[in-house]
Amino acid sequence: NIVPVNLPSSPTVSNISSSGSYQEDLYSVNNVLDNRMDEVGYPNPDFWIAPNHIDGWIRLGLDDTYFISEIRLLNTNNGGVGDRGAGKVTIELYDKDNSITFKDTIKVDDFPNWTSLKINPALPANNVKIQLTIGKLNGTGLNEIKIIGVKKVP
């Protein structure tokens, strides 16, 4: 008999929220999911930056329960300006009852290097929160977020 296997993939993000954006129409939090990673700045930036001089956060709501095995982050340098980017991040996974199932703080590498947080064993989550601390002069932000996991089998 062939047994179906859930292979790790990118869970579907059903909603995204944040602490706010510097110039929302340009540096929207939705940019962290756009698969554009070349740090193109104004007038069509591909990254998110939080309002000036604050520690920002992003919350990603998933469409179902996933067992998360890895979170990948790509920092920003504000389109080459170099005055924004994450220093450290605290990553929290929440289950369907909004209880924390995982929490860890890591340093985020400078753009263009990806930072990866492996979660072993994989843990259940319905949403992911990323709390950023200011790592550069004027504020914080991220270019891209990738979540790796498998859907919960009913």
C-alpha 33/C-alpha 128 separation (Å) is 13
CA 20 to chain centre: 14
Q: What is the pLDDT of residues 83-122, one digit of tens each?
A: 999 999 999 999 999 999 999 999 999 999 999 999 999 9
Q: Is the dihedral of CA 108, 109, 113, 116 positive or negative?
A: negative
C-alpha 88/C-alpha 72 separation (Å) is 13
Nearest to 146 by CA among 26, 55, 66, 54: 66
Q: Is the dihedral of CA 43, 27, 13, 108 positive or negative?
A: positive
CA 1 to chain centre: 39
User: Do the strands 13-18 and 100-107 form a parallel or antiparallel pair, or are they unpaired?
Assistant: unpaired
Q: What is the DSSP letter of 2?
A: P
Three-state DSSP at 31 gives helix
pLDDT at 74: 97
Confidence of residue 150 (pLDDT cuts 50, 70, 90): very high
Q: Is the model's pLDDT at 6 over the cut of 60?
A: no
pLDDT at 3: 45
Separation in Å, CA 2 to CA 5, 31, 152:
9, 40, 19
Q: What is the pLDDT of residues 56-76, one digit of tens each?
A: 999 999 999 999 999 999 999
pLDDT at 10: 84
Q: What angle do CA 16, 17, 21 make, to 5 degrees?
A: 120
